[in-house]
Structure 1
Amino acid sequence: MSHSQILDMMRAQKCFSKDSVDFMSRILERSGTGQATAWPPAIVQCLKGKPADRSIERSREEAETVICTVVEDALRKAGVSAQEIDILIINCSLFSPTPSLCSMVMQKFNMRQDVKTYNLSGMGCSASPISIDLANTLLQARGGLGGGRALVVSTEIITPNLYHGNEKGFILQNTLFRCGGAAMVLSNRWIKDAHRASYKHLRTVRVQGNDPNSYGCVYETEDEKGERGVRLSKDIVKVAGKCMEKNMTTLGPYVLAFSEQAKVVASLGARFVLKFVYKNLVKMEKDNLAAKLPVVRPYVPDFKRTIDHFCIHAGGRAVIDGIEKNMKLEPFHTEASRMTLLNYGNTSSSSIWYELEYIQDQQRSNPLKKGHRIMQVAFGSGFKCNSTVWLKL
């Protein structure tokens, strides 16, 4: 779907004001998305004069098409059958039907009846590292049984989630998200699978805010006229920055060079001392001296010294620009994220896997090599920042 087709599709809903359509047009122009991103047939059909169908039946059709396609592809590439899977995890934030999406996959692929299934909903665009973390924990628990195999699916279903109101905080979702999904096979069966594995999981770090701003900055609710949607707060950039800073600080000791760790510790120590001195000067009513204290900015560690590739959630051009600037990345470090956004749009939790595939198959500016480390960074409602580091085998 091109930008003009998307706008025609929005006009065909006959619920958006001219100001809302103009607003969506401006967002699309600045979004970094290309002219051939995917929308579900149940919504696209309004271009042919049929009303958009947001029913559960059509939502299931989208889910079945996306999920079954990526599962079949993942099993084929991994060289395993559906009957060899021990754990099934599917994360889909805004569509959680009964029976579950896991039940749909179990039935479609005739999987074993003793497969352990987990359906994760409401976790937002950061859900895929959560699924990987869960799979890793469950596989470790099976270590005494000779290990196992886990199938992880990350997707978002668009059909039931088109917002039909005119509040700008909600309208953003209509211009950001696109159809997509990814499936991955994980294994800790060393004898059978180690020789054919593509990557080794090194570390997952999960951070979630616990304050009202974090909780409310991505919030599913109804607008004043009762139209359901996901409201994005103006505080989202600030909240995301704080959450990412905490995540990177936690992840740092596991992946950073020692010299970078020392700089981080020195920065934290200086900030702690200055904060202590400032509080005491204020208590002593020496505000003039307190105001003259220097400001020590948090040291942003140079992850480029130990991380070779970055898969940053393709949430939008501004998101990628901000992380590139804050982490002092080179343009080739964010190439995969920008190309994923251009070619596929924001596919929610699966975007980091589109990026990894781009690095693996298409990137020429920084080719993937054996021994390289890849960092995936995802953001989502809650507010959460989750990161995962892989080693190319």
Structure 2
Amino acid sequence: MEESNNSFRSTFYLLTHGFYVLIASLFILLFSFQFTCHDFIHKYNLIHALCILGLLGLILYIYFNFTRRSTYLLDFACSRPPNDFKISKEEFIKLARKSGNFNERAIKFQQRALYKSGIGDESYMPKLVFQPGHKISLRESQEEVAMLIFGAIGDLLAATKIKPKDIGILVTNSGVLNTTPSLSSMVINHYKLKHNIQSFNLGGMGCAAGIIAIDLARDLLHVYPTTYALVVSTEAISCTWYAGNNIGMLLSNCLFRMGAAAMLLSSRNRDRWRSKYELKQLIRSHKGMDHSCFKSIYLNTDSEDKQGISISKDVIEVGRHALKANIATLLPLVRPIFEQFHFFTNLPWRKKIKPYIIPNYKFSFEHICVIATSKKVLDEMQKHLGLTDEYMEAPRKTLERFGNTSSSSIWYELAFLEANTKIKKGDRVWQIAFGSGFKCNSVVWNALRNGGMPKQSPWIENSV
């Protein structure tokens, strides 16, 4: 019933406002042309003149009501947990031994994985998971997520000066933690958002859910164009922790770390001047129809009924195929004409010319933010796409400093680019995220202004 009421309100909104646009357009045209059209009216007749003016009004009506609006990213913010949550690789192994949860084989596996992961000694995670006899607690996971998301949202609202009552759309996402009430309800309750807010909570969609949340917010802004959309991406590490000895389920312990990001979107043209980026393309690819892809990342339990995330050995190959499908759809939309011509004239069936397989990404993007999963994944991405070290700097630095923060990872990377003043007006930023299911999603942003040093950033110590 609620969905039908929302649909009715949306339809009514579009019809009434579209009607006003149509009438106003006709009135303005008639008033503007009442003198210039005098000879035209005498030469033909009033009926013909009104028909032409009506046609012009109809064109304006169609343009304003059926042309897809631009989506703007006013700003974003990433949380940085307190220093008490910092953990080094050495401390990780020391606490893992003290916990009594792991046998020596499991300890050595995690030690090798940590030192090959690309994660440094300053990432963040809740150390309570190492406590002997610790069990996954809903309350602890809620407290962890609340600290992260409220920190990010608070910084975002302070930077944009937007009041909570002006937010009409809210989309939150977390892969494993799904509470009742939802994370979106937690945000609504904490910031006292208005009662008719359009709120959604995405769960079970993995690290790629952040871009899905952006896609949903964009679509909602086309239905409710006079409001702001708040998107919040996070994950609770305490509820993904695995305290068993199944080697296939231990890798997530070594890679995932605490983090959250909040983004504020608008589709109003008057917000363009104050926005940082404009959304240009968003492509989603799903490989869930293939069983090996579907089972590549899986929340599971071991023989002792201990919960954890199982990551298959085929996950890199699965990701490669998903990325290929995504790029095949995205590149024709963003590649310059001369690059497309180069590809066409070097088609693989032309035996006399070397096949032009890997495009030159510098013609399509100035910056690339690949989700900071692990060093091995980033190495494969760089090799597979033929990316330069400059393109990979933000993902590698983010992995080293913050670890894999799930769906928020790509925003820490964009924050790195901003903190190092690498963003210039007109730059195109390509964000790529992978997730369970298996999914590969990507979004392209266009920078609307030069990115100066931000006042608030997870990369800047004591930023205000």
TM over 0.5: yes
Query: 1:337: Cα distance to partner?
Result: 0.5
Question: Where do 1:197-346 residues align within 5 Å?
Answer: 197-209=275-287, 210-265=289-344, 270=349, 299-346=357-404
8 Å contact from structure 1 (residues 218, 381) kept in 2: yes
Pick from 88, 93, 98: which aligns with 1:12?
A: 98
Which residue number corresponds to residue 24 of structure 1?
110
User: Percent of aligned positions with the same letter in both sequences?
Assistant: 36
Q: Does 1:35 align with 2:121?
A: yes
Query: 1:123: Cα distance to partner?
Result: 0.7
Aligned equivalents of 1:171, 1:195: Cα separation in 2 = 47
Q: Does 1:369 align with 2:424?
A: yes
8 Å contact from structure 2 (residues 431, 444) kept in 1: yes
Residues 196 and 325 (structure 1 numbering): CA distance in 2 closer, same or farther, change over 3 Å? same
Aligned equivalents of 2:124, 2:444: Cα separation in 1 = 29
Q: CA RMSD in A?
A: 1.9
Query: 1:225: Cα distance to partner?
Result: 2.5
Query: 1:261: Cα distance to partner?
Result: 2.4
Structure 2 segments unaligned to the other structure (5+ residues): 1-86, 449-464
Query: 1:303: Cα distance to partner?
Result: 1.8
1:291-332 deviation per Cα after TM superposition (whole angstroms, max 9, x unaligned): xx99x9781222221200010100001111111112211111
Which residue number corresponds to residue 115 of structure 1?
197
Which residue number corresponds to residue 266 of structure 2?
187
Which residue number corresponds to residue 31 of structure 2?
none
Which residue number corresponds to residue 237 of structure 2?
158
8 Å contact from structure 2 (residues 235, 258) kept in 1: yes
8 Å contact from structure 2 (residues 348, 356) kept in 1: no
Q: Does 1:389 align with 2:444?
A: yes
Q: Which letter maps to 1:380?
A: G
Query: 1:63: Cα distance to partner?
Result: 1.1
SS state at 1:80 partner = coil
Q: Which letter maps to 2:186?
A: M
1:162-220 deviation per Cα after TM superposition (whole angstroms, max 9, x unaligned): 111111110001101000000000011222x2211011111110001020011000011
Query: 1:267: Cα distance to partner?
Result: 6.5
TM-score (norm 2): 0.75
Aligned equivalents of 2:312, 2:347: Cα separation in 1 = 30
Aligned equivalents of 1:231, 1:202: Cα separation in 2 = 35
Q: Does 1:56 align with 2:111?
A: no
Residues 347 and 204 (structure 1 numbering): CA distance in 2 closer, same or farther, change over 3 Å? same
Residues 94 and 264 (structure 1 numbering): CA distance in 2 closer, same or farther, change over 3 Å? farther
Aligned equivalents of 1:70, 1:52: Cα separation in 2 = 28
Aligned equivalents of 1:174, 1:204: Cα separation in 2 = 31
Which residue number corresponds to residue 134 of structure 1?
216
8 Å contact from structure 2 (residues 103, 245) kept in 1: yes
SS state at 1:166 partner = coil
Residues 317 and 195 (structure 1 numbering): CA distance in 2 closer, same or farther, change over 3 Å? same
Aligned equivalents of 1:327, 1:312: Cα separation in 2 = 11
Q: Which letter maps to 1:381?
A: S
TM-score (norm 1): 0.88
Query: 1:32: Cα distance to partner?
Result: 0.5
Q: Does 1:174 align with 2:174?
A: no
Aligned equivalents of 2:280, 2:375: Cα separation in 1 = 28
Report the structure number with the largest CA radius of gyration. 2
Q: Which letter maps to 2:245?
A: N
Residues 174 and 304 (structure 1 numbering): CA distance in 2 closer, same or farther, change over 3 Å? same
**Number of residues paired by the alignment?**
360
8 Å contact from structure 2 (residues 348, 355) kept in 1: no
Residues 54 and 297 (structure 1 numbering): CA distance in 2 closer, same or farther, change over 3 Å? farther
